[in-house]
Each structure stands twice: as structure tokens, then as C-alpha cells.
Amino acid sequence: MNWYGIRAIYKFEMARTWRTLMQSIASPVLSTSLYFIVFGAAIGSRMGDIDGVSYGAFIIPGLIMLSLLSESISNASFGIFFPKFSGTIYEVLSAPVSAFEVVAGYVGAAATKSIILGGLILLTARFFVDYDILHPFWMLAFLVLTAVTFSMFGFIIGIWADDFQKLQIIPLMVVTPLTFLGGAFYSINMLPEFWQKVTLFNPVVYLISGFRWAFYGVSDVNVVISLGMTLLFLLLCLTGVWWIFRTGYRIKT
Amino acid sequence: MEPIISARGVGKTYQGGFTALRDVDLDIRRGEIFALLGPNGAGKTTLISIICGIVNPSSGTVLADGHDIIRDYRAARSKIGLVPQELSTDAFESVWATVNFSRGLFGKAPDPEYIEKLLRQLSLWEKRDSRIMALSGGMKRRVMIAKALSHEPKILFLDEPTAGVDVELRQDMWQMVHGLRESGVTIILTTHYIEEAEEMADRVGVINRGRLVLVDDKRTLMQKMGEKELRLQLARPMNALPEALAGLPVELGEDGQQLIYHFDIRSEDTGITEFLRRLNDADIDFRDLHTRESSLEEIFVGLVKGAREESMEEESQP
């Protein structure tokens, strides 16, 4: 195992985060704070509890997931896309690092950033609403699992994208709508029955539901199913990454 | 001695059907400077990219220091450093950070003393905290070399190392390359500047249309392929070549002041004695004489032209 190689990629990516602190950390924290002010404090104060949880507290897991998904994808996709774009990928390709080590470096750094961000949003939320964490271990487990899975998904997008537009298209056109419609701001039980069934095809529902369960012990779907779906998506991403390195898709000619 | 790089039957056909390399066999000796020459699109960069692991070969095998570049890629790649043709750098990183990144990537433990020594050798020490984007083109090229040498490789590939580099830096690089060779590093360089190969290389390989046309010792190549000419500065200018010299490979210089006699240095009888005897018989005096050998560039152009004509002939045959 080339530990120094993994560390080099990880350190390089983390250094990029510190260089772009405003963009990587401050900006998502600010925009999430605005959500808390608008939906939690202003609108939320006029809304009733959902499943026995105040609306301001109810949206915390969904808002963290919203940032976690978009930032994991964006960090990991940009992390691998930029070396391809600038040509510096030659160095990674010619180095004695395995596919696993490359992914561990890039995905590890992207997931770390997202987890830090999730923690900061959680701390920020404390300024606006009161909340409890009933199952801290599972909260952390869902946080880490989701960050790793979507960082890996972002890595695949970064490999697939051959221009900046493609880099943005899946996060903006697919992931953000799925997150908004995945129960970030409401319980899917509030939807008409037909749409409740349709919503179950949205994978983000399982992530948010499981994460919310870790906070308040309430969920839209069974937590075991949530965990299973998260692991399934992780497996799909792992398969995608394995196939990319096996075939050299868009990284090797 | 076992070659440090041994390529056998290496071929590359891209997805679009373009064949960039055809059945290349090549051995690079330990500690030598090997120049790979060829026109644009000849396959030089593809060959280097295959050896370094950037491009997958369609056929053939390559051993680097005895390690298969695919089956035993870790050991093979750790022996190789690459300075690519393009100035691809992490613009926002500092020189120090990017060179240390390269060392780590190649699996080496941090060694600040070695990196300091390297940066000093390449006159980059004063710029260690500068962002790469703030450096000149020449300095960026040095950074690329520092990155390639950061993990102390045994084999260094320099793909067009002096393209777009000023004369002073080019001289510095030549010196550096010689210094590296003295320290035991094997250097393979591709270049468009034939004088660079002539100046630096021990052996030369010529690649054209994906085929390795020849590989030879530079001096032997220049002797074998080179044509020599004997130039006589005449005491009295001439209007036409005298009858006495008819049948000899001789021509009159444009100004009528010189006689140019062409001969093949490989030939046992160069005919110089006969030429001088006839001059004497015809009472033609000369003030000075000197010989001139074909440059590597002239040999290279001849080879590439010859290979192109051969390939056109092959294609035109039914």
C-alpha cells in the first residue's frame, strides 16, 4: 500500500479547501443559516410540529443532507476534474498508486470536507433552534456513509465530465431537486398517497429519513431500509469507480 | 548488462483506428542518454506515455529496470520520472508544496534536505514559496523537472525539455542532464532540436509513422549514414567544372571559388587520392582545403524522407 501516495493526494486536496475557505466552508454555512432563518425561525414559527418535532428542528437533518450531498459531489468531482482539465493528471497516472489509493485520497479528502461542513452546520443550527440527537453513533454513521458515498459519486461525475457544464449538470439538475423532493423540508407522509409511492423511488428519501431517525427517532421509512439503500448506493458507486479504473474510461487512452 | 528499459512488440492503435505505434522493439542501456527523434505525430510521446503508464499499449510488453510496467507497475513506475512536453502545473500551489506532493505520490517518505538540495540545483530555492502561476515559463519548466526528480528516479524521460526555452536555460538544462547521467540516471529525451540530440545523446533512435526506423550509437550513426565532403578553396575561380574531373562526385561551388568533392566514409576507397591526382595533372591549384561531415539533422531528414517514400511505395502496390 502506498500510504505516502494517499497522504499526498489527501493533503493536496485539503490544502485546496483551506485556500478556498470562503467558497468551501463559509459559503455553504451561510446559505444553510439563511434556510434556518427563513424556514426555521420566520416560517417555521407559524407551522405546527411534524411527528412531534418542531419544524425548525425537523428540517435540520434535511438541511445538513442538502449541503452534504451537494458539497461531497462538488468537492470530489472538481478534485479529479481539474487535474484532467489542467493536464496534471499525468502525474497521478504515472505514479505507483493503485486505483484504490487514488480514490482513497480524493474521496477521503472530499468526504472529510463534507463531514466538517456537516458539523459546522449542526453547530450553526444551535444558534437558531433547539434539537436533540437520540442516536449519536448512527447520526455519525449516516453522516460519514453519505459523505463517502456521494464523494465517490462526485468522483465518477468528475471523471465523466469533459467540460465545466457537465460538472455542474448532475448536481444542479438531478441531485438538488431530488434532495428538495426527498423530504428535506417535509415528511413524505404529508404528501398525497400516490406521490408518497412515487417519492419512494427517490434515493435521497432514504438518506434523509435515516439521518432524521438518528436525531429524533422518527422516520418516513424503516431505518434498516434507509441503511440498506445507503449501502446499496455506496456499492453502486464502488462498482462504477472499479469499472472506470479497469477500463481507463476518460482517464487513459 | 541488462537494459534498463526493454520494449518488445509495442503497438498502439487508438479507438478511432489511428495506429500511433507499430511493433516497436527498443532497449535502453543503463546510464545512457538516449535521444528519440521523429517528426510531429511520429509516436514519440505515445511510446513514452506507454512506458510511464499514462497510455495503455494495444500490444507488446515493456520492462522498466526488470519490472513489467503493467503486472508490476508499482516497482516499474517508482523507477521512472517524467517531464512532459506540456507545462502542466498546479498553478495555485507553491513550488515547495508541489515538489513534495510529487515525492509523496511516488511513495517516498518526506525528505526536506533532499528537496532543498534539488531546488538549489535547479535554482528554484529562492522561489520555493512562490505560487507556480507567478513563475516564468523557464522556471515552470524547472519545477516540472524538480517534480520528476523528487522521488530520485533511475530513469528520467524528458519530452521536448527545451521547447520554448531560452538559450541560457537550454544550456543549463544540458549541463543538468549531463550531471544527472554522471549520477547514474538514465535519460531518454525526445526533441525537435537535432543539435540537442547531437550535443547530448549517446545513442539515437529515429521513429517515423509509429515505426522505429533505426537505433544506433550517435557517432556510429553519423559515421555510417553521414556523407563527408572535401572542400577546396581554389587559387583561381572557375566558370565550369574542368573535363579532367569528369566522372568524379565533384561539383563547383556557386561562386566558382570552391570545388566540393563528396565521398562516403564507409567506403574503403574514398577516391580522394584519384581526385587530388587529377587536380595535379590538370594544374589546378588550391589555397586551402577542409572536410565537413553531415549533421545529425541532415541524416534525420534523409531517414524520414526515405521511410516516407518506402511507405508510399508499399501503399501504392496492388
Of B222, B245, B260, the one marking the end of a domain is B222
Would you state the pLDDT for residue B109?
Answer: 93
Which is more confident, B255 or B74? B74
Domain boundary, last residue among B222, B249, B268: B222
- Indicate the average pLDDT of chain A: 87
DSSP type of residue B7: E
Residue B318 predicted with pLDDT over 60: no
Domain annotation covers residue B165:
yes
Residue B304, in any domain of the structure: no
User: B204 with B241, same domain?
Assistant: no
* Alpha-carbon distance A174 to nearest alpha carbon in chain B (angstroms): 31
| Mean pLDDT computed over every residue of chain B | 85
Q: How far apart (Å, rounded) are the C-alpha atoms in residues A28 and A206?
A: 23
Provide the pLDDT for residue B107.
Answer: 93
Residues B85, B217, single domain; the answer is yes
Look up residue B268 and give its three cell numbers.
574503403
Angle at A183 between CA A107 and CA A167, to 5 degrees: 35
One domain for residues B35 and B170: yes
CB contact under 8 A, A87 and B75: no
What pLDDT sits at residue A190? 83
Do B260 and B247 belong together in one domain?
Answer: yes
Instruction: Tell me if A95 and B105 make a contact (CB, 8 A cut-off).
Output: yes
How many angstroms separate the CA of residue A87 from the nearest CA in chain B? 5
Structural domains counted in chain A? 1
Domain that holds residue B271: 227-293
Question: How close is the nearest chain A Cα to the Cα of B223, in Å?
Answer: 37
Of residues A241, B99, B161, B123, the one with CA closest to residue A251? A241
Using pLDDT thresholds of 50, 70 and 90, give the confidence band for residue B25: very high
Residue B309 lies in a domain: no
Q: Tell me which residue range forms the domain holding A193.
A: 3-247
Residue B314 has pLDDT above 70, yes or no: no
Inter-chain contacts counted by CB atoms under 8 A, chains A and B: 83
pLDDT digits (tens, 9 = 90+) for B184-205: 899 998 876 777 777 788 998 9
Query: What pLDDT, on the 0 to 100 scale, is given for residue B298?
Result: 67
**Domain total in chain B:** 2
Q: Is residue B118, in this structure, part of any structural domain at all?
A: yes
Q: Which of A41-55, A149-163, A198-212 has the lowest mean pLDDT?
A: A41-55
Interface touch B54/A2, C-beta < 8 Å: no
Q: Does the pLDDT of residue B294 top 70, yes or no?
A: no
- DSSP 8-state class, residue A112: H
The per-residue pLDDT for range B109-163, each reduced to its tens digit, is 999 999 999 999 888 899 899 999 898 888 888 899 999 999 999 999 998 887 7
Residues with Cβ within 8 Å of residue B259, at least 6 apart in sequence: B231, B232, B234, B238, B245, B250, B251, B252, B253, B279, B284, B286
Give yes or no for B133 touching A (CB within 8 A): no
Nearest chain B residue to A105, by CA: B105
Query: B40 touching A, CB under 8 A?
Result: no
pLDDT of residue A21: 77
Query: B183, B203, B222 — which closes off a domain?
Result: B222
Dihedral of CA B49/B54/B56/B62: which sign?
Answer: positive
- Which residues of chain A make contact with B85, given a CB cutoff of 8 A? none
Tell me how many degrees the CA angle A61-A67-A72 measures, rounded to the nearest 5.
120
Q: Which residue has the higher pLDDT, B153 or B304?
A: B153
In the structure, what pLDDT confidence band is assigned to residue B208 with cuts at 50, 70 and 90? confident
C-alpha cell at B213: 526506423
In the DSSP assignment, the letter for residue B284 is: -
Query: For residue A108, is it within any domain?
Result: yes
Phi-psi region of B228 (alpha: psi -120 to 50; beta: other; left: phi over 0): beta
Q: Are residues B104 and A252, on separate chains, in Cβ contact within 8 Å?
A: no
CA-to-CA separations, B257 to B241, B250, B260, B277, in angstroms, rounded: 11, 13, 10, 19
Q: Is the pLDDT of residue B173 over 90?
A: no
Instruction: Tell me, yes or no, whether B42 and B131 share the same domain.
Output: yes
The terminus-to-terminus CA distance of chain A in angstroms comes to 25
Of B59, B51, B54, nearest in space to B19 by CA: B59
* Per-residue confidence (pLDDT) for residue A6, from 0 to 100: 94
Q: Does B75 touch chain A (CB under 8 A)?
A: yes
* B80 and B17 assigned to the same domain: yes
Element (DSSP H or E) covering residue B261: strand B258-264
Same structural domain, B88 and B202 = yes
pLDDT of A41 higher than 60? yes
Asked if the structure places residue A133 within a domain, the reply is yes
Q: What percent of chain B has pLDDT over 90?
A: 33
| Whether pLDDT at B244 is above 80 | yes
For A38-66, b/e burial (b = at least 16 CB within 10 A) is ebbeeebeeeeebeebbbbbbbbbbbbbb
* Residue B200 and residue B64 share a domain: yes
Mean predicted confidence (pLDDT) in A36-52: 78
Residues of B in contact with A94 (CB under 8 A): 52-54, 77, 80, 82
Assess whether B214 and B271 both reside in one domain: no
Residue B53 has pLDDT above 80, yes or no: yes
Report residue B41's pLDDT band, with 50, 70 and 90 as the boundaries: confident
- Beta carbons of B104 and A253 less than 8 Å apart: no
Q: CA-based angle B299:B302:B305, to the nearest 5?
A: 150
- The reply to whether B97 and B234 lie within a common domain is no
Give the side-chain half-sphere CA count within 13 A for A239. 6
C-alpha span between A149 and A69 (Å, rounded): 9
**pLDDT at B317 (0 to 100):** 58
Residue B105 counted as domain residue:
yes
pLDDT given at position B266: 64
Query: Is A253 a member of any domain?
Result: no
Is the ipTM higher than 0.90? The answer is: no
Radius of gyration of chain A (CA): 19
Q: Is residue A24 scored above 80 in pLDDT?
A: no
Is the distance from CB of B124 to CB of B167 less than 8 angstroms? no
The verdict on residue A117 lying in a domain is: yes
Q: What is the pLDDT of residue B224?
A: 64
Does residue B110 sit in the same domain as residue B125?
A: yes
pLDDT at A108: 94
B142 and B171 share a domain? yes
Nearest CA-CA distance, residue B81 and chain A, Å: 8
In this structure, what CATH number is given to the domain that contains residue B265? 3.30.70
